[in-house]
Amino acid sequence: MVKSGLIDLKLVAQKLLDAAGDKRVILFNGPMGSGKTTLIKEVCNCLGVIDHVSSPTFGIVNEYKTKSGTVYHFDAYRIENEDEAYDFGIEEYLDSGNWCLIEWPNKIKNVLPLENELFSIDIQLDNESRSYEF
């Protein structure tokens, strides 16, 4: 577990990527407003994304380019059932070998590959720090 404020976000993002190793599917679990998208923005910076990174809440998936490939950013919050994930072709994204960064993975847990890295964010309101666990 890593406790951090926003000033350390780059360090947390790099540690997350180091912990993921060969896994290209990273799951971001945490309550609404915990900073999942903010952290994913920093992960994308570490991966060399050259596009603007934003929440894909309404589009479900955003695609970002890097010099060496593609990063997919999913927000499964609005998915009602796992059939919806299949309908938009999630397995093609997951099988692509590209980075897949997924917010709200519990909504599509049976669709996800076994080889993934789960990253949880917990907010401690008493001192406004965040605990990151992976």
What pTM, to 2 d.p., does this model score? 0.86
Query: Could you count the other beta carbons within 10 Å of the beta carbon of residue 112?
Result: 20
Sketch out the chain's domains with CATH numbers: 2-133 (3.40.50.300)
pLDDT by residue for the chain (134 residues), tens only, comes to 555 555 588 999 999 999 999 999 999 999 888 889 999 999 999 999 998 888 887 779 999 999 989 999 999 999 999 999 999 999 999 999 999 999 999 999 999 998 888 988 876 655 555 555 55
pLDDT given for residue 9 in this prediction: 87
pLDDT given for residue 55 in this prediction: 83
Identify whether the C-beta of residue 112 lies closer than 8 Å to the C-beta of residue 20.
no
pLDDT given for residue 26 in this prediction: 95
pLDDT given for residue 120 in this prediction: 86
Residues 6+ apart with CB under 8 A from 82: 107, 108, 110, 111
Query: Could you count the other beta carbons within 10 Å of the beta carbon of residue 7?
Result: 7
